[in-house]
Each structure stands twice: as structure tokens, then as C-alpha cells.
């Protein structure tokens, strides 16, 4: 149900055969990555226009968030770079979290797959991580009771746990995955994680053809780095999801490869899997652009522009596994622009036949 509803927005902003997509470049390497996506889309004749909004960490006023939310609601879809969260006043919420909450982007989906051309400790990893994206520790409810004593509220609700669990099982069914594993710490957080786990177990009963099990977050972290092949689909509350998606992205090549998808009932936002700003590599022509280019291909698949998505994925495959045009994060010596130029020419070659 959730999987279907997220495709409603496919048709939200389509004018004269072209799609309008909101672009939020963000901070750090975000703006560079967006310019590469535009170059590649142009090379492939992709029928997408971008409405660009500069929502970055320099804008503290609420109007900018409002503008971005309105634009995404109108277009239904966005491509997003990460926005740096500075040490502002205590009440300043992360722009990234704010957007996810306002658009109710309840599901974060990250597919981590090994690439044969990348030298990693483990080969043939294929794990989908489905993370609750709007509650838990990210409810942004913290306060200081008396000096030296703070409370941070972790909100877990049955309705949102049900929503994400159903999403995970529907995903497993649609993509023929065999097993869903719920991750928790219900032995310590008996009420909150207990509710998440019990809700997942109840929903699992509606999907008897899909195996269901559960694992405690600490054991899961250990198993993920030592024996990742035992996992298929991981179903995660918010903070554990943040940590495990980064571990899983690291296992298959780091922050420069894997994309992340955020779905609400009516909107979808595409970004990199690890949500880094990459401030330290910005402007140096060394960042790996593939995570954002993969995110742009996710976006095209969502818009049902499958032909264009496949063309871009073919080029990414050649970069990683055939020509091995690897940037320094993958142990290579190529620049960002070497990768982009190869993809641009390859996309042109594929589409001009
Ligand atoms: P700092 O650690 O000072 O915050 P940063 O802003 O670059 O630096 P993150 O954005 O959290 O940190 O990124 C984590 C690490 O991943 C950094 O070492 C960064 O250089 C690296 N990184 C992030 N994105 C990419 C990318 N696309 N290509 C290569 N390295 C990347």
C-alpha cells in the first residue's frame, strides 16, 4: 500500500512531457554534485527540469524551509544535498530533520550492494535497509530540567512502527526478498523498542511467505561487519537506522557510492545514502560523485523514466567495474571530473544510437 502510494506523485508536476523536480543543493559538495547531475541529464536528453532552492546552513529563517516544503509539495519530488547542521542555538533544529518531519518522509530506503570492481573486505553483499525516518530519537524533543540534567525524548508510536513495518514487508514482497530482520534494543528499552519489535512481529504475521526474525542492535552491528551475508532486509528504528546504514554503506565502498531514498505518502526525496556534506573534500575535485548520480537515477526510476535511469546506471557500472575510473576514496587516482566526463560521454553514446 505504502509502496504504491509513493508513486502517486509521479504525475504531480509534469508540463509538456517534462517533469519539474525540486533541487536542494545543500552544503559542502552538494552544489558541485548537482551541477554534475544537470550535465549528465543534459547529455542524455532527460526530460527533467529543476527548480533550484538554496536551502543551506547560512539561512536560519523559517521562510526558507517553508519555501522548500511548498516546492516539494508542488513538484512531489526532490533531489537533495545534505545541509550542514551548525552549532546554533539549542532550539535550532537540523534543516534535514525539519524537512523530513514536515513532509512526513517516514521511510528511508538504502540498498547496499557490493560492486565487483571495488576492493572491499566482503564480496557479494546485498542488503536493503529500511529505516523509520521521522520519530524515535529524532523527535527533536530535548530540554534541561534543572541545570546539569537533560531529558531527550525518544518517541515510538504503534502507528508509525506499523507503517514502516508494512512498508518493509511490502518491499520484500515486491522485490522478492526472503527475510526481514527487525533491529532493536528491547531488552533494555522495554517499552519503546518493545513496542517497535512487537508491532513488527504482528505485521510479519500478515506476510507468511517472508521470513521474519529480530536482532539486538549491538549484535547486529557486530554481525554486519563480520558476517553481512546473513542479512537480507533490515527493518530499523530511526537512530539505529542512521548508524547501520552508514556501516552498510561503508562495507560496500564508503560515502561516495550508495544513494538513499526517502518516501512519504505523497512525496519522495532522493539523496546520498550516508547524507554527508563532505565539507572536507568540497571544491577539491576529488569527491566521488557516484552516490549523487545514483540518487539521480533513483529519481528517474521513481518518475518511471526507466530508460534514462538504465542508461545512467550502465555508465556507473562501467566507471566502477569495467574502466575502473576510481576516485581516491576507492583507492584510485582519478578526479571527480574524470568520472563525470566519462559518464557524460558514455550517456551521450548510448542515447545517440
Ligand atoms: P568533517 O569530518 O570535518 O565534518 P566532512 O564534512 O567532509 O568533514 P562528512 O560530510 O561527515 O565530513 O563526511 C565524512 C567523511 O566522508 C569525510 O572524510 C568526507 O571527506 C568523506 N566523504 C563524504 N562524501 C564523500 C564523497 N562523495 N567522496 C569522497 N569522500 C566523501
pTM of the model: 0.94
ipTM of the complex: 0.94
Q: What is the full DSSP assignment across 141-183?
A: -EEEEETTEEEE--B--HHHHHHHHHHHHHHHHHTT--EEEEE
Q: What is the full DSSP assignment across 83-129?
A: PP-----TT---HHHHHHHHTT--EEEEEEE--TTS--SS-S-EEEE
pLDDT at residue number 5: 46
pLDDT at residue number 14: 73
- The strand pairing partners of 110, in sequence order, are 129
Q: Which residues contact 37 (CB under 8 A, 6 or more apart)?
A: 79, 292, 293, 296
Atom 29 in ligand 1: which residue has the minimum CA distance? Answer: 287
Q: Compute the distance from residue 318 Cα to the ligand 1 centre, in Å.
A: 24
| Residue 214: strand, helix, or coil | strand
Q: Which residues contact 127 (CB under 8 A, 6 or more apart)?
A: 111, 112, 228, 231, 232, 233, 234, 248
Alpha-carbon distance 339 to 51, whole Å? 25
Residue ranges of the chain whose pLDDT lies below 50: 1-2, 4-9
In short, whether 246's Cβ falls inside 6 Å of ligand 1 is no
Mutational test site, ligand 1, from 34, 281, 320, 325, max ligand atoms within 8 Å of CB = 281
Q: Compute the distance from residue 270 Cα to the ligand 1 centre, in Å.
A: 18
In short, whether 276's Cβ falls inside 6 Å of ligand 1 is yes
In short, whether 329's Cβ falls inside 6 Å of ligand 1 is yes
Closest CA to 124 of 114, 132, 134: 114
pLDDT at residue number 196: 98
Alpha helices in 252-289 (DSSP H): none
Amino acid at each position: 500500500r505504502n509502496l504504491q502510494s509513493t508513486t502517486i506523485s509521479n504525475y504531480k508536476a509534469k508540463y509538456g512531457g517534462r517533469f519539474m523536480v525540486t533541487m536542494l543543493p545543500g552544503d559542502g559538495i552538494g552544489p558541485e554534485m548537482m551541477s554534475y547531475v544537470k550535465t549528465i541529464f543534459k547529455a542524455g536528453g532527460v526530460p527533467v527540469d529543476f527548480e533550484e532552492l538554496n536551502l543551506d546552513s547560512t539561512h536560519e529563517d523559517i521562510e526558507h524551509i517553508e519555501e522548500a516544503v511548498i516546492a516539494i509539495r508542488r513538484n512531489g519530488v526532490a533531489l537533495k544535498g545534505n545541509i550542514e547542521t551548525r552549532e546554533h542555538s539549542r532550539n535550532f533544529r537540523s534543516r534535514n530533520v525539519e524537512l523530513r518531519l514536515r513532509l512526513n518522509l517516514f521511510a528511508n530506503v538504502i540498498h547496499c550492494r557490493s560492486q565487483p570492481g571495488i576492493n572491499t573486505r566482503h564480496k557479494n553483499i546485498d542488503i536493503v535497509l529500511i529505516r523509520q525516518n521521522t520519530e524515535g530519537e529524532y523527535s527533536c524533543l530535548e530540554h534541561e530540567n534543572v541545570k546539569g540534567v537533560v531529558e531527550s525524548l525518544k518517541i515510538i508510536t504503534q502507528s508509525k512502527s506499523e507503517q514502516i513495518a508494512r512498508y518493509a514487508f511490502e518491499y520484500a514482497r515486491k522485490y522478492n526478498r526472503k527475510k526481514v530482520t527487525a533491529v532493536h534494543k528491547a531488552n533494555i528499552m522495554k517499552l519503546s523498542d518493545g513496542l517497535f519489535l512487537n508491532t513488527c512481529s504482528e505485521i510479519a504475521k500478515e506476510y507468511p511467505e517472508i521470513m521474519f526474525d529480530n536482532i539486538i542492535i549491538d549484535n547486529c552491528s557486530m554481525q554486519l561487519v563480520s558476517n553481512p551475508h546473513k542479512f537480507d532486509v533490515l527493518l530499523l528504528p530511526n537512530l539505529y537506522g542512521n548508524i547501520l546504514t552508514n556501516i552498510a554503506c561503508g562495507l560496500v565502498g564508503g560515502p561516495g557510492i550508495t544513494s538513499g531514498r526517502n518516501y512519504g505518502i505523497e512525496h519522495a526525496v532522493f539523496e546520498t545514502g550516508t547524507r554527508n556534506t563532505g565539507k572536507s573534500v568540497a571544491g577539491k575535485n576529488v569527491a566521488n560523485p557516484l552516490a549523487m548520480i545514483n540518487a539521480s537515477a533513483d529519481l528517474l526510476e521513481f518518475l518511471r523514466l526507466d530508460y534514462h535511469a538504465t542508461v545512467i546506471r550502465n555508465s556507473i557500472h562501467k566507471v566502477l567495474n569495467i574502466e575502473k575510473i576510481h576516485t581516491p576514496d576507492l583507492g584510485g587516482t582519478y578526479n571527480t571530473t574524470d568520472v563525470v566526463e566519462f559518464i557524460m560521454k558514455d550517456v551521450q553514446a548510448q542515447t545517440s544510437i
